[in-house]
Each structure stands twice: as structure tokens, then as C-alpha cells.
């Protein structure tokens, strides 16, 4: 943000388009992010991202090894955003760990529904070789850790049952992840996926997870 602002100032100072962009990496990220949000990562070409950023089609290669590297950068930012949302949600939610788990689940689903193409980029098959992007893998693992922390806090408080943290975390993560993807991808037959439905469905699903589907 700060760098982008500085670059804009510099452009205003010079009063004309410069041969050197000055902050092309951020401009590419912004252009790619906007285009992908509209049409999805598969449907956007590096050439039109470059064009949207105001440079030639080859300029991106000064900042990214290839298209995959740009996509990995955006996906990583998505993971970091989702982690930050989770942390903020935990901090902002009163009512104890059970309420926090509820709120985090809902925030996860909301993130996915608001940015479905980003969610697909993060968890889909567009990035073919995760081993080539270790910091992306790191961000993904950090998200798993954040979720695990919420579950641990729930167990420590007595709101959640005892048992292997990994198992509980995987179960909770799978539920909200599946729900987010089904909603983001419009795979749920019955309903219009508006804000009210997202709130209601994520609330009910997480409540069912905590209480259990089995007979009482």
C-alpha cells in the first residue's frame, strides 16, 4: 500500500508516463486480482494483466518467473488474508470458544462466497506445482495452524470434547471448507446464495457439527 502510494506520487510529480513504471509488481498484483475476481484465474491471460497494468506483455517477467509465480503470489495473499480474518474474528468475538468457532466458520464461508475465484485459486488446480512455491505452502500451513489454535482453545475451555486436536481440526476445517466451496461454486441446488443464506447456513451447519448429527 505504502509503496503503491509513493509510486502514484512519483507519477504525479513527473506529470507524464515514464518508461520505468516504478511500482509494476504492485500494479500487476492489483490488475491480476481484479481480473481474476471477475473471470477466474484460468480465463485471464498474463498478456491482458500486463495491458491492464499499462506495460508491454513481456514486462511481467522482470518481476515474476512465469504466470504460475504471479498466481502463487495472489494465492498466498489470499491465505494471509484468511488467516488475518480468522485472528480478527477470534479477537472480536465475545461469548467464549464455542461462539468463536461459530464466528470463524461463518467468516471462512463468507470469505469464500465473497471471493469465489480467489478461493478456487487457493484450493483449486490452477497452481500446478506447489513445491515450486514454498512460501505459498507455508501460508497454507499457517492457515491450518490458525484453525488448530481455535480448536485447542475450545478444548482448553471445556467447550469442545477431548480428543486428538488434528482430528477435531480436520473435521471442523473440512466442514467449513466444503460449505464454502459448495456455496462459492453454486453447487447447492435449492437456494439463492445471498448474505442471509450464508449466515443462516453456516450458523446451522456449525451448530449441527458441535451438537452432532446423531440422535440425542
Partner DNA sequence: ACCTGAACACCGTTCAAGT
Interacting residues toward DNA by CB under 7 A: 19-22, 24, 45-48, 50, 55-59, 61-63, 65-68
Residue 76, CB-side half-sphere exposure with 13 Å CA sphere: 16
- The interface partner of residue 19, options being DNA, its own copies, none and the CB cut-off 5 to 8 Å by kind, is DNA
Instruction: Give SS3 for 128.
Output: coil
Specify the residue for cell string 484468511. Answer: 82
Q: How far apart are CA 10 and CA 18, in angstroms?
A: 10
- Tell me the C-alpha to C-alpha distance, in Å, between residue 123 and each of 61, 76, 194: 25, 11, 22
Contacts of 195 (CB under 8 A, 6+ apart): none
Question: Does residue 209 belong to the site contacting its own copies (CB under 8 A)?
Answer: yes
Beta carbon nearer to its own copies, 45 or 56? 45
Question: Does residue 211 belong to the site contacting its own copies (CB under 8 A)?
Answer: yes
Question: Does residue 167 belong to the site contacting its own copies (CB under 8 A)?
Answer: yes
Q: Which stretch binds its own copies (CB under 8 A): 27-35, 45-53, 83-91, 119-127?
A: 119-127
Q: Minimum distance from CB of 84 to DNA (Å)?
A: 28
Q: First CA to last CA across the chain, in angstroms? A: 52
Q: Can you tell me which of 33, 50, 100, 117 binds its own copies, judged by CB under 8 A?
A: 117
Amino acid at each position: 500500500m505504502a509503496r503503491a502510494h509513493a509510486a502514484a506520487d512519483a507519477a504525479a510529480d513527473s506529470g507524464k508516463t515514464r518508461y520505468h513504471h516504478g511500482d509494476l509488481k504492485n500494479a500487476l498484483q492489483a490488475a491480476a486480482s481484479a481480473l481474476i475476481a471477475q473471470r477466474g484465474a484460468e480465463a485471464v491471460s498474463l498478456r491482458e494483466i500486463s495491458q491492464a497494468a499499462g506495460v508491454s506483455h513481456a514486462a511481467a517477467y522482470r518481476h515474476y518467473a512465469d504466470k504460475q509465480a504471479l498466481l502463487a503470489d495472489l494465492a498466498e495473499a489470499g491465505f494471509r488474508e484468511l488467516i488475518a480474518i480468522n485472528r480478527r474474528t477470534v479477537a472480536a468475538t465475545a461469548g467464549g470458544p464455542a461462539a468463536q468457532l461459530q464466528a470463524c466458520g461463518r467468516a471462512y464461508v463468507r470469505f469464500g462466497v465473497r471471493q469465489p475465484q480467489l478461493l478456487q485459486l487457493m484450493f483449486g488446480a490452477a497452481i500446478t506445482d506447489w513445491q515450486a512455491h514454498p512460501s505459498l505452502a507455508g501460508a497454507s500451513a499457517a492457515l491450518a495452524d490458525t484453525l488448530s489454535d481455535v480448536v485447542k482453545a475450545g478444548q482448553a475451555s471445556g467447550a469442545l470434547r477431548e480428543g486428538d486436536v488434528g482430528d477435531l481440526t480436520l473435521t471442523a476445517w473440512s466442514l467449513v471448507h466444503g460449505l464454502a466451496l459448495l456455496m462459492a461454486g453454486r453447487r447447492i441446488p435449492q437456494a439463492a446464495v445471498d448474505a442471509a443464506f450464508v449466515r443462516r447456513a453456516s450458523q446451522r451447519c456449525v451448530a449441527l457439527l458441535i451438537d452432532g448429527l446423531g440422535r440425542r
